[in-house]
Structure 1
Amino acid sequence: MTAAILFLALAANPGSTTCLAARPPSVAALTRAVAHPPASEPQALAVIHTEGTLPHTGIHDESAAAVRDFGYLLDLVLAWRDTHDVAALARLATYLDAWVQRYRPSFDPIDETNLAHLIVAYRLTAADLPAPTAQRTRAFIQQLALGYLQRMEAHRGDDKSVWSNKWQSHRIKLVTLAASALNDPALFARARAAFVAQLSANLRPDGESRDFAERDALHYVVYDLEPLVLAAAVAQGQGEDWWRLPGAEGQTLAAALDWLLPFVRGQRQHEEFRHSQVRFDAQRAAAGLPGFSGVWDPKGAKALYWSATLLDPRYVAVARQLAEAPPRALWAYAPPCSGQAGLR
């Protein structure tokens, strides 16, 4: 991509939407959410590991239970941001301290993808948190971002699929969120370069993803695109248009969402994982895990298309068809709406 094309892409106006086209969570809903944590105390672990494992093996179940804390972090953030619940802010600080002091990054982006919620929680409350908590959390996020970027840059051009499939998309989400939360232009520039490289390596010009070719599953198309859409939403908050930012052969995130649309609208169907190249997919199907065989359910894309409405209002009708309301956590990622402070 020439410097001129890159300049035009970055200078373009961000998407015309300014907030989620839905009613925000009510005070009552947030109060209920905050009153019902996943467990009585933070479930912080030194390591999370579910990637490549079946339920009831290794530390899969313990990890799956622990990561529920990250969704609860966003409930606390929304309660603080939207209702000024001081108790919610104090509880948020307790959870952040528990996790950043115990957890040690593995730099496995599938295991760690939910750390995105921790980063967003810090971004929206950094000025209000107790100073020691804010400092510890900032240091943790910086360690995470630098570790991922160093690994990504060392493997740029690597033919191994984990450096260009959904794994890389989740790395990009984490580093983009981190760069924004840290307000670090140099880190953000490195995240942008990784995003463009991923468009080039992961997508065909027609929008089909590498993950579809490898796994023969729309489940993984969605899982690949979701983090890229969130990264683009963060970039929009920084005044950059990554929605139409092109890869080396003109690939764009917008084209990828459009490629999936016929399946989402029910115009086409797909039998999931029938020709997957990965043995673990067959193991999960044999174990009876939902979604690893049979016809793909379009509702699996509801979070993806609600996220995409932040970038392109064309998807509002599709998102509403899939789910009446967006996932509550998405409100923490959304730009300001009706006077609320959003992710910038």
Structure 2
Amino acid sequence: MMLISTVLKALILLQVGAIYPDFGTLLHPEVLKPLDYRELPVAAREELQAAVADIRDDEPDPLSEIHYEGLLDNNPSRMETVRHLEDMDKLALFYWHHAFFGDAHSLQKMMDFSLAWAKMFQPTGNPINENKLLPIVYAYPFVEPHMKSRQQHTMEEWLREMARAEIGNERVPLNNWETKRINLVGTIGLLLEDDKLVSWAEEKAAYYVENALFADGSSADIRQRDALSYHVSGLKPLLQFLITLEQETGRGKDFFYRETADGASVARSLDFVLPYAKGEKIYRQWENSKVRLDQERAAAGLEKYQPGVAYDPQKAYETMALASYFDDKYRMDQCGLPLCQITALLN
């Protein structure tokens, strides 16, 4: 199996300060219970443990405020934020390592990093920024049983504060921003067994499908930005929430397929992506974007934002891997990314 070797290539690169958003894509611990690490080759398990040993003594480096959304990639404040957000890569590494091996050290590191950020970071309700902190949210079911009561209180108050801030933000546009907000609030609600938060997220998700997804499979992100990348990044957090919702309540799969009166659905919007993810069609991005930031990015010479640049099919693989949790037709057999390998084991 290629899982560990693929994981290691990404993780070793973490040492040089790169950010790997793919590794931040976690699954609820309950979803991972059927996994058996003994299915992985002994040499690969040992190699993974050696790679984790390289960062075992790293300490958290939290921020009080994230400067990311709306800033160009080369903005100094954003670049500094990205450096601090390496903590989320490391937290995700400890998460997967603990999920596979159940080791106490990775568990303690998840606790240390989570508490450090909870004590420092002040939620603002910006889902683009706070979506970056999802590894803390997903780590909580692992660490909560091992925390002292005051630590549990610190974490739960911080998680609730984040959810309240997201709900209170009345300036969230009905695009990928909204699905990131839904995922944050809904997942926090499920973890804390807060039915009000879960209901809010489900209602918002239904409204999103009704008003931001269309019968032809396109989305508000496609129509506003002419970017398959944003269409895919809008579906990804929604799928994360639906997987957790299915695991906890059994309602996620029904929502995945449910169609509006006009024929829109989450599944249909994934069908829209499928030929591009398979490389059967090419999507030329940004040619008709109506968003000023996209134009500024192009003017700044950022290559991936140039009008007409082809969407990279591999960028859809993780989203399709999440979708394969509900339907095997979305599995990308050519994908060697960790999440693709993990979801294949789950089905």
TM bracket (short chain): 0.7 to 0.9
CA contact (8 A) 1:237 1:335 kept: no
1: CA distance between counterparts of 2:52 and 2:245? 29
- The residue number in structure 2 matching 1:295 is 310
CA contact (8 A) 1:18 1:335 kept: no
Return the offset for 1:204: 0.7
CA contact (8 A) 1:263 1:269 kept: yes
Return the offset for 1:58: 4.5
CA contact (8 A) 1:170 1:227 kept: yes
Question: Is the counterpart of residue 69 in structure 1 residue 87 in structure 2?
Answer: yes
2: CA distance between counterparts of 1:34 and 1:110? 29
Structure 2 SS opposite 1:281: helix
Structure 2 SS opposite 1:113: helix
Q: Which amino acid aligns with 2:192?
A: L
Listed as ranges, the matches of 1:40-189 within 5 Å are: 40-151=58-169, 155=170, 162-189=172-199
- The residue number in structure 2 matching 1:324 is 336
1:167-197 CA distances to partner (integer Å, 9 max, x unpaired)?
1111011111111111222221111111101
2: CA distance between counterparts of 1:235 and 1:56? 37
Q: Which amino acid aligns with 2:116?
A: A
Larger proportion of helix: 2
Structure 1 SS opposite 2:239: helix
Unaligned runs of 5+ residues in structure 2 are 1-31
Q: Which amino acid aligns with 1:295?
A: A
CA separation of 1:199 and 1:37: change in aligned 2, threshold 3 A:
farther
2: CA distance between counterparts of 1:100 and 1:29? 32
1:272 to 276, 285, 288: 285
RMSD across aligned positions (CA): 2.9
CA contact (8 A) 2:124 2:165 kept: no
2: CA distance between counterparts of 1:245 and 1:300? 26
1:231-272 CA distances to partner (integer Å, 9 max, x unpaired)?
111111121122113345342110000011122223322221
Return the offset for 1:297: 1.3
Question: Is the counterpart of residue 308 in structure 1 residue 323 in structure 2?
Answer: yes
2: CA distance between counterparts of 1:305 and 1:90? 32
TM-score for both structures, normalised by structure 2: 0.80
TM-score for both structures, normalised by structure 1: 0.80
- The residue number in structure 2 matching 1:5 is none
CA separation of 1:38 and 1:202: change in aligned 2, threshold 3 A:
farther
CA separation of 1:140 and 1:43: change in aligned 2, threshold 3 A:
same
2: CA distance between counterparts of 1:290 and 1:31? 37
Question: Is the counterpart of residue 210 in structure 1 residue 220 in structure 2?
Answer: yes
Structure 1 SS opposite 2:134: helix
2: CA distance between counterparts of 1:134 and 1:268? 49
Return the offset for 1:65: 1.3
Q: Which amino acid aligns with 1:144?
A: M
1: CA distance between counterparts of 2:205 and 2:40? 30
Return the offset for 1:53: 0.8
Structure 2 SS opposite 1:114: helix
Return the offset for 1:98: 0.9
Structure 1 SS opposite 2:183: helix
1:262 to 245, 265, 275: 275
- The residue number in structure 1 matching 2:241 is 231
Return the offset for 1:290: 4.1
- Indicate the larger mover: 215-224 or 38-47: 38-47
- Indicate the larger mover: 140-149 or 282-291: 282-291
Unaligned runs of 5+ residues in structure 1 are 1-16, 339-344
CA contact (8 A) 1:33 1:75 kept: no
CA contact (8 A) 1:93 1:130 kept: no
Number of residue pairs aligned between Structure 1 and Structure 2 = 308
2:49 to 31, 47, 62: 31
1: CA distance between counterparts of 2:34 and 2:319? 15
The one of the two structures with greater contact order (alpha-carbon pairs below 8 A, sep at least 6) is 1
CA contact (8 A) 1:219 1:291 kept: no
CA separation of 1:335 and 1:45: change in aligned 2, threshold 3 A:
farther
Return the offset for 1:18: 9.5
Return the offset for 1:296: 1.3
